[in-house]
Structure 1
């Protein structure tokens, strides 16, 4: 099967899966939708309004009808899965508005229509019902449009299509007679830079936790820009792109040569960076006459959608010399093809031992069987450079992930830092001589949300604060969005206005590529094997690897003991058991290798 045929098949499957998932969720009873976090109901809403039409595409309205600028939501108990940047539908009976979440904090939940949807978001500003509103997931076809546009591009570009097809089949020749001797980094990083610059078609760089992946990208990008190349930096998330651009801009130090494409809420990490230019869009016809951006070498950062989704016109008609795809192990093959369809050379940077992309399962289509990085590493093992020195993990922190995931090929360049606190609460856990501790308890909460673990997290954070640890050096992780809210509520007792503080509290998926001195990981699932739901998500070795490799001084994992009470004989009847077994074995081995502390409650001593 040709790549284009399989790509079109993938488009159809992706859309069908999206449609089925949407219909399945939206047709559940209301209480189930609320419990699953896909609906918020019985809401109070207060709108703010534009005084005039917000853009030229909006019709003129007669007062008191006005266009909605934003909607502040009042909810007694928000347990939704929604997050900032997500699209939702705000409704009240027959009234429906498509909006984006622009703020999601303990104090504020605010929606606003985007530039396109605002033309349909208007209401009587003097006489609207403020009560009984509902928020639901939104059905979107943005991925379908992106992939369809990519297919059209490839149909009209046989040379690039042939190159991508050969690459994905393992048949692309990548021999180079060029030599380059870069010496500014460590040996493994220098090797990666040399090979990436010299490779005529593509190169793969595996960057395990803390090995300087982003710094390596920055050096490669600067060399390419100095050579006058047009470089596209992409990744699955804006956070990853922003982190790359910060590092790159610090090397180039010329804001005309580093541009981030996206909305303001997608630019949190680069706001304030004086060596970078932020733009919502930069189509090629505008770029040609823009005197503020370089014509002699430039790096542009954006998601795959900015490059090939025609309706956005963010990077319309651009062609790049080189595409650098960061976190490539989190990017699906169809998404990567969208980037490759507009680039001549590809540098993939990632770690297939960390998080995988979210893809439709059980399709039988090879494009959805693995990430683009996993496939290319498998097809081209000799085209991969491994960064092998970790500057984040000391010898104690690196021990378990090195054994479980990296065949002990990594070494640590970070000295061990002991830490001792005087606070009584959880000092036994924090002061444990091992840098990585597994704290086990026996309290059973609801699936995916644990108030008990949230309280433990809050007390540990409070102990750290009382002994002088800065909040910006603490990261709190969990697999579930609902537990993020639970932890924030518990922490708010000790740290007022927690959303305004620099402490990182979010899901594991949002933490990849980042680090903190102290990491607390709340597994927040009392007995996943009992419900037998989403076991592949919870027992993901890659998610575990990310969670336990973010800390630089201490990593504390909190879990119910039942999480590790894995008995194969009780699970063998599961249809997916054979596929799941290697993952379960990884968790068993993690448990064996861990330094464990068991919680002792007062009633245990009675």
Structure 2
């Protein structure tokens, strides 16, 4: 019912309490607004300590003072009497007497149980109340009248701006490449089509040119699967010969339908001045057309629809704008019992508060603090309490991490939902929406379908739009990586949301705001709870980290988490080497297709990885290489593949792609090295520091930082863009004897 009532029940001793004896006027109807007693009685009924020891059908409801929540040592007994119905029993001095429910809720006496409901709050918390969150948390930074009125308009404008930006970006990408190259990169493109001539129903028909097996190409969704082009996509149509085609080409069109190898396109005539010339050209049968993707509007359309749905819901609209208080009175906590007995105190507290929350609760989970395990417990107990649960995240990988974690066909990861679903302990039925998009075999093989109605449904935020049902609880993991607009999709389908993430790591991706600065581009977690959010006391932070060696965790803990993190276990470093080491190498950077590459660092990365394999005895799969730039990803992969045995098995990726993953050893290449002291987006205030935090906290036992520290630390007295963050890190590495100077010519890996 409420946190206050939960604390009161823990402090109340029925064995020494007395049944209430009324004084003059206590039972008279004096209240204009009845006390909502049903929820209070229901909540009390879930606590065995309130069952009367002599009267089997009595539930003791403790009484508090008239004007405060201080316990009086008295109670009134509720029972559903066979003859008299729902009544409250009291002591009249000689015998038991009763007052019926409807009369009680309007009586003066009812005021002495009102604080057990979250709609009422005492002026001061009682002495027995001990909770990190208040029973009723008012908004601390509600949107002003004009801002509240325009908030959802701004969300919609943000989505439309994102659509325009993505369309422009895809157009530029196509202009700077070829359809063949784009397809090889996994971008939506059909390199060769033939026009079938005259239009039908206003659309032009094209057939894919391919010398392969026609039977294979006519299979269901062949075009979608092989070329990444879908019905409804906005595309560009390129002519067979640009020099002989009308100047309007390439022209914009929309994919109407796809049947086997035949694609119908509806031309966007509004953007074409000489329509007759273009129309005549298209009516001729020609070979050699090409199509490239301009925009897949489906995710954006889903966001716009969800924003409208959230806007129409009074509860969600008030929550997002700060027009209502956040309360904690859900009965899920007392309708369920602890399942995971190995949770630490903070994790247990987070679960308890999440179950008590009526509409919103936030869990701040820094790296290695067991956020996923905590969320699994929230799901298990919510289902036990009778709730339908929707589990979402912005990416397929993040969803699969909750569903299966590190599970294999033979072994279930106990930190995953799989361990407790129908193919595990069988506590609930789980279904994964669009399981075919999962790269996890356990997910794809076992949770694509289920028998009967699923208690728990897992989906990406966008795929949640396909669900035709409502849920009691939404558990939104990695909530700090999803924009407010994307989060609206699952939010529109749930009554309550539990947000989990870490706002000290990467913000959501935005095509228009890089990094996002408006509320629309930020995450729902940050908008509602994190630094400067609408509410304050609606979440808890997990503080015990189990992933990293203490030396690896030290800098991030001090710089990003205000020294709040504790070491949960002793993580050993690798033999004969420190857990954290920095390399100072003065190479030079190159610009490759708007990205950056540093060959000296790529060579040093290969050398460090080789030592980890040959001297520390690590498997290639236990090592990860992280860098901010895609060009450096390619350079490192090339060096590892060419120079090291099984080098291709080492995971190499950007910081953005590595978030949520972990490896025994991590090697970080920071790339920037120039005479001007420019560090690019590594110094951006909103997300530059977060990138370093993500990179360093992926490591368990070893972390190497490779960079030109002269560039990074801004040693030229502010002449460059270098940030004090890297100056601080450099000082830490140097003062602890962890920094090694490396001359590029002595790196034992050839150029």
CA deviation profile, 1:153-209 (whole Å, cap 9, x unmatched) = 245x4xx34434334427332132756574541111111111111211111101111
Match in the other structure for 2:547: 392
Q: Separation in 1 of the partners of 2:323 and 2:639?
A: 51
Q: Separation in 2 of the partners of 1:33 and 1:51?
A: 28
Q: Separation in 2 of the partners of 1:13 and 1:6?
A: 11
**Structure 2 counterparts to residues 403-418 of structure 1, below 5 A:** 403-418=558-573
Would you say the 8 A contact 1:323–1:339 is kept in 2?
yes
Would you say the 8 A contact 1:473–1:517 is kept in 2?
yes
Match in the other structure for 2:151: 6
Distance 1:67 1:480, change over 3 A: closer
Out of 151, 156, 161, which is 1:16 matched to?
A: 161
Q: Separation in 2 of the partners of 1:274 and 1:151?
A: 30
Q: Separation in 2 of the partners of 1:489 and 1:88?
A: 35
Match in the other structure for 1:195: 353
Distance 1:33 1:532, change over 3 A: farther
Q: Separation in 1 of the partners of 2:330 and 2:473?
A: 19
Would you say the 8 A contact 2:400–2:443 is kept in 1?
no
Distance 1:24 1:395, change over 3 A: closer
**Deviation of 1:357 (Å):** 0.7
Q: Separation in 2 of the partners of 1:267 and 1:321?
A: 25
Match in the other structure for 2:381: 223
Match in the other structure for 1:542: 690
Larger CA Rg, structure 1 vs 2: 2
Ranges in structure 1 where 5+ consecutive residues have no aligned partner: 59-65, 73-86, 97-112, 280-291, 309-313, 421-430, 572-576
Would you say the 8 A contact 1:235–1:326 is kept in 2?
yes
Would you say the 8 A contact 2:664–2:699 is kept in 1?
yes
Q: Separation in 1 of the partners of 2:314 and 2:259?
A: 35
**Deviation of 1:568 (Å):** 6.3
Q: Separation in 2 of the partners of 1:565 and 1:69?
A: 48
Residue aligned with 1:10, SS: helix
Distance 1:206 1:20, change over 3 A: closer
Distance 1:514 1:396, change over 3 A: same
Match in the other structure for 2:419: 251
Looking at both structures, which has the greater relative contact order when contacts are Cα pairs under 8 Å and sequence separation is at least 6? 1
Match in the other structure for 2:503: 352
Q: Separation in 2 of the partners of 1:512 and 1:442?
A: 28
CA deviation profile, 1:251-286 (whole Å, cap 9, x unmatched) = 31414712211253x311x3135994125xxxxxxx
Q: Separation in 2 of the partners of 1:143 and 1:273?
A: 23
Match in the other structure for 2:653: 506
Distance 1:332 1:566, change over 3 A: farther
Would you say the 8 A contact 1:439–1:597 is kept in 2?
yes
Distance 1:68 1:7, change over 3 A: closer
CA deviation profile, 1:44-99 (whole Å, cap 9, x unmatched) = 9995455167467x9xxxxxxx9797369xxxxxxxxxxxxxx9979864499xxx
Q: Separation in 1 of the partners of 2:148 and 2:213?
A: 48
Distance 1:115 1:440, change over 3 A: farther
Distance 1:569 1:457, change over 3 A: closer
Residue aligned with 2:296, SS: coil
CA deviation profile, 1:366-411 (whole Å, cap 9, x unmatched) = 4236322122233333221111111102221111011001111111
CA deviation profile, 1:557-585 (whole Å, cap 9, x unmatched) = 111231222656436xxxxx9xxx9xx33
1:173 has 2:344 as partner = no
Match in the other structure for 1:146: 302
Moved more, 162-171 or 145-154: 162-171
Q: Separation in 1 of the partners of 2:258 and 2:174?
A: 31
**Deviation of 1:240 (Å):** 0.8
**Deviation of 1:39 (Å):** 11
1:271 has 2:441 as partner = yes
Q: Separation in 1 of the partners of 2:223 and 2:395?
A: 31
Q: Separation in 1 of the partners of 2:706 and 2:517?
A: 38
Out of 725, 739, 743, which is 1:586 matched to?
A: 725
Q: Which has the higher helix share?
A: 1
Match in the other structure for 1:427: none
Q: Separation in 1 of the partners of 2:291 and 2:191?
A: 11
Distance 1:117 1:389, change over 3 A: farther
1:493 has 2:493 as partner = no
**Structure 2 counterparts to residues 355-370 of structure 1, below 5 A:** 355-359=506-510, 360-361=512-513, 366-368=518-520, 370=522
Q: TM-score, structure 1 length as denominator?
A: 0.73
Match in the other structure for 1:262: 434
Q: Separation in 2 of the partners of 1:249 and 1:469?
A: 30
Q: Separation in 2 of the partners of 1:528 and 1:243?
A: 43
Match in the other structure for 1:474: 623
1:374 has 2:538 as partner = no
**Structure 2 counterparts to residues 20-419 of structure 1, below 5 A:** 20=165, 22-23=167-168, 26-27=171-172, 48-51=212-215, 54=218, 70=226, 93-94=239-240, 120=262, 138-154=294-310, 157=312, 160-169=313-322, 171-176=324-329, 182=338, 183-246=341-404, 247-255=415-423, 257-262=429-434, 264=436, 266-268=437-439, 270-273=440-443, 276-278=446-448, 292-295=450-453, 298-308=455-465, 314-315=466-467, 317-359=468-510, 360-361=512-513, 366-368=518-520, 370-375=522-527, 376-377=529-530, 378-419=533-574
Match in the other structure for 2:580: 436
Would you say the 8 A contact 1:517–1:551 is kept in 2?
yes
Moved more, 350-359 or 448-457: 448-457
Residue aligned with 1:336, SS: helix
Moved more, 515-524 or 478-487: 478-487
Distance 1:320 1:294, change over 3 A: same
Residue aligned with 2:326, SS: coil
Q: CA RMSD in A?
A: 4.2
Match in the other structure for 1:311: none
Residue aligned with 1:367, SS: coil
Ranges in structure 2 where 5+ consecutive residues have no aligned partner: 1-145, 193-208, 243-254, 265-285, 405-414
Number of residue pairs the alignment of both structures matches: 512
Q: Separation in 2 of the partners of 1:522 and 1:135?
A: 37
Q: TM-score, structure 2 length as denominator?
A: 0.60
Distance 1:163 1:4, change over 3 A: same
Would you say the 8 A contact 1:518–1:552 is kept in 2?
yes
